[in-house]
Amino acid sequence: MMMGKKLLDLSNMEEEEKKKKKKKKRSMKKILLLLNSVLLAMGTSGGPLVMRLYFIHGGNRIWLSSFLETAAFPLILIPLTFSHLHRTSHHSPKPKLVSIKLPLFLASAVIGILTGLDDYLYACGIARLPVSTSSLIQASHLAFTAVFAFLLVKHRFTAYSVNAVVLLTVAAVVLALRSGGDRPSGESTRQYVIGFVMILAAAALYGFVLPLMELVYKRSKQRVTYSLVMEIQFVMCFFATLFCTIGMLINNDFKVIWREAKDYKLGETKYYVVVVGSAIMWQFFFLGAIGVIFCSSSLFSGIIIAAFLPVTEVLGVIVYKENFEAEKGVALLLSLWGFVSYFYGEIKQEREKNKKGCPERELPQSLPPNS
């Protein structure tokens, strides 16, 4: 009897210890989600504003701007170093310095090249369109994310998500019908239309990249941790930067940067401040996006980006004195309506899952190999 009681007590203690570890892991994941959400929010609004500042005051190097979107990737080494030191002191045997394996490395490299292409498309659009217009078009990426999330990771459509896709599509159409109404002075209608198409293409490509990254996580044959996520981001940004560097070399951008800096309307020093600031803001965006996908889903990442649409819109109007026409107001309302519809649908779906006793939809910390 005594032996049985001791075994029962020991079993209870082990169960209690497991619960504590599980609770601690969930708390850590919530903190990481909050941190990455803040980084994503800062990058979502700050990235386009600083990039547009470069073009408004005399900058005209498209490949340089696309290069800056991922060029600050060495900053990832800072959190990676802290993460490695933490794992080294808390785990035995000591973990490897680099945990990413070849299949995941190759997948990240391909996504990095796609990201570099997306950077170029986006920079082409920002160079020709006001921030308040480009941000509205970019909001359509949520519709593309919904479609590709359905195709790639089987995130099923609901009436709310379909409604959001339709509303975001209509918002883009409203802007297209009034194309050129807020065209910057000295820019032709042709250039404005090219900018519109480029931003829309960038939104579509990024809407594909988000669920593709989630698919890579789920198909990974190694344990997915936040340290591994940062390594993936490092590889992605390296190849995206390499893609844009090749473009800069072909376009002879490196030969004329110093001359462009001297002729910059705000002065040479501020030119480099803008360039560095742009790189940092965009790194916040990419690091935040991939972190949110890890801690939650590609859908939630898209929702945060859409949520800061009006912030970017208002800042563009205030800071750069951009026109805010009736069509922009209608497109903004439709986009916000689509965002609310999507968000409400997700909340309702999550509540239904909880009522049925289904586990919360999230990417597990350790994923079993797929057959």
Q: What is the pLDDT of residues 97-152, one digit of tens each?
A: 788 888 899 999 999 999 999 999 999 999 988 887 887 787 777 788 888 888 88
**Residues 47, 53, 56, 57: is their CA dihedral positive or negative?**
negative
- Asked if residue 143 lies in contact with residue 168, where contact means CB atoms within 8 angstroms, the answer is yes
Per-residue confidence (pLDDT) for residue 5, from 0 to 100: 57
In this predicted model, what pLDDT tens digit does every residue of 1-36 receive, in sequence order? 555 555 555 566 666 666 666 666 677 778 888 888
Q: Which residues are CB-neighbours of 236 under 8 A, at least 6 positions away?
A: 70, 108, 109, 111, 112, 115, 286, 290
Q: What confidence tens digit (pLDDT) does each residue in 312-322 have?
A: 877 888 888 77
Cα distance between residue 291 and residue 339, in whole Å = 21
Domain ranges of the chain: 39-84+101-355
Confidence label for 357 from pLDDT (cuts 50, 70 and 90): low
CA angle 102, 108, 114 (to 5 degrees): 145
Q: Is the pLDDT score of 358 beyond 60? A: no
40 Cβ neighbours under 8 A, 6+ residues apart: 284, 285, 288, 289, 291, 292, 301, 304, 305
Question: What is the pTM for the complete model shown?
Answer: 0.79
> At 296, is the pLDDT very low, low, confident or very high (cuts 50, 70, 90)?
confident
Average pLDDT score over residue span 255-277: 93
Confidence of residue 359 (pLDDT cuts 50, 70, 90): very low
